[in-house]
Structure 1
């Protein structure tokens, strides 16, 4: 596999970073995961905006230009001879002196790598499992998509390796928060419900897209602080992330849900697919300014 590293495309066997990179020593780094559809990086603009916000919070100086990243994505797809891929764009503080640094990070490390994906992913149901481990609080004011992933890793170990289960984090106060690698939603009396950012969740790009899509479809949305008991009266539950899209839930505890046959899940999935090969940003959907591209 070929990857992009600090301005060059190299084979993974030839890639290396400094042992003094503060992304390695202290977790000073943020990343974005997204996927392509026939080569188009869906919602890339929103992912890069969030990445830039994370870099600013960590005081890492990096000039991340959308057009340049588009070109790198295309080049890697060609080099690896793939049509579509999972993409991970990773930016760390780069090599510095040992010790906690307060000055800006000027020698950042930028890596973009891919993993081949099939051109179409059908709806895949999962069981939701309430975790005993609570969600950690954000490192700064709002949760970053950062290298600090121990909380997620420990949660995955708690539920085991099955790809058919997703853990559901509660906050320290016992409110529903998010999945291990996803955001969560449920339907109740014709309305979409989802935990608010106040819970300390990661404000996922797909989460933001679903909220905008619901507004476009005139489906009422409620964000708030919710207890587990809220799920007992939900008619449908689903998770979201940028690679698996909409993930229907078929069971939480002893309660069974319709999964992929749910009315709202199917409707949202249908409309989701209408945009995946065109949109670079959620704002373009709101403005009705989407069209086919050559990516």
Structure 2
């Protein structure tokens, strides 16, 4: 594997950061994972808008033109001999003295990781976790280096690739998966937890909501108890790499409804994956 780090593409064994990088010392860093399909980075504009908003909250000054971003992606694809890939774009605070720093971080560390897209199964089984979802450290959840809650949850369900754990909040509301957002449908209406439950507002989650608007499929966003999820006709999870993954069961109970919504959304992803830069593009089409 070749990675990009602060201006250079190097073998992963040569990718080094300072021991004083506050991304390492204090977890001050953000990342975006996105899918490149035949050279096209799907929903890239949405990912980088969220990244910039989060970096501003963290006090990390970083920017890069879209043309520079695309050049790095294409060079990494060539170095790794890939046309489609899993990409993690990581911006950490950079080096400062030991101790909590209250100024602006102006020399962040940029690392871009790339690997082949993982094989995606047709469905997964889900389990409600005993590990509860922690609350965001700020006013809303960032896609940050703070992943202990997720790691503890992953240890709870183990390494089975066809399983996903679903968090509840401390108040008992359905939150999100370990690496996914959660949706379900009942009697023709789609439901998904509100961002105010403390979940990550996933880029694929936002895209799915835009697709539901486009297809005039009714949906509700709110606070829901475990029982409401367990009574679903169908359910599915979303993230930027696996996109739409139907759930076949929750806590061992089979979901027996037809997968109408998941199948319709999968068709829409197939339609847009190779050329869309932002979900706003399908909204503009709807307004015409």
Q: TM-score range by the shorter chain?
A: over 0.9
Of 274, 277, 290 in structure 1, the residue corresponding to residue 274 of structure 2 is: 277
Q: Which runs of 5+ in 1 are unaligned?
A: 290-295
The ranges of structure 1 where at least 4 consecutive aligned residues each deviate by more than 4 angstroms after the TM superposition are none
- Partner SS state of residue 285, structure 2: coil
Q: Superposition pairs for residues 89-104 of structure 1, below 5 Å?
A: 89-104=89-104
- 1:266 is matched with 263
How far apart, in 2, do the equivalents of 1:220 and 1:229 lie? 21
Q: Is the Cα–Cα contact under 8 Å of residues 90 and 111 in structure 1 kept in the other structure?
A: yes
Q: Please say if 1:140 is aligned against 2:145.
A: no
Q: Please say if 1:17 is aligned against 2:17.
A: yes
- Partner SS state of residue 208, structure 1: helix
Deviation digits for residues 32-80 of structure 1 (CA, Å, limit 9, x no counterpart) = 0001111100000000011101101110011132221111111110111
- 1:257 is matched with 255
What is the Cα deviation at residue 11 of structure 1?
Answer: 1.8
- Partner SS state of residue 138, structure 1: coil
What is the Cα deviation at residue 123 of structure 1?
Answer: 5.0
Q: Superposition pairs for residues 276-295 of structure 1, below 5 Å?
A: 276-288=273-285
Q: Which runs of 5+ in 2 are unaligned?
A: none
- Partner SS state of residue 68, structure 2: helix
How far apart, in 1, do the equivalents of 2:197 and 2:117 lie? 32
Q: Superposition pairs for residues 63-102 of structure 1, below 5 Å?
A: 63-102=63-102
How far apart, in 1, do the equivalents of 2:99 and 2:22 lie? 9
- 1:212 is matched with 210
| TM-score normalised by the chain length of structure 1 | 0.94
Count of equivalent residues: 286
How far apart, in 1, do the equivalents of 2:134 and 2:201 lie? 15
| TM-score normalised by the chain length of structure 2 | 0.96
How far apart, in 1, do the equivalents of 2:285 and 2:231 lie? 35
- Partner SS state of residue 288, structure 1: helix
How far apart, in 1, do the equivalents of 2:266 and 2:71 lie? 28
Q: Please say if 1:180 is aligned against 2:168.
A: no
How far apart, in 1, do the equivalents of 2:64 and 2:190 lie? 34
How far apart, in 2, do the equivalents of 1:258 and 1:60 lie? 48
- Partner SS state of residue 55, structure 2: helix
Task: State the superposition RMSD in angstroms.
Answer: 1.4
- 2:8 is matched with 8
Of 139, 148, 153 in structure 2, the residue corresponding to residue 150 of structure 1 is: 148
Q: Is the Cα–Cα contact under 8 Å of residues 31 and 143 in structure 2 kept in the other structure?
A: yes
- 2:60 is matched with 60
Deviation digits for residues 11-47 of structure 1 (CA, Å, limit 9, x no counterpart) = 2122211000000000000000001111100000000
- Partner SS state of residue 146, structure 1: coil
Q: Is the Cα–Cα contact under 8 Å of residues 249 and 258 in structure 1 kept in the other structure?
A: no
- Partner SS state of residue 81, structure 1: coil
- Partner SS state of residue 238, structure 1: strand
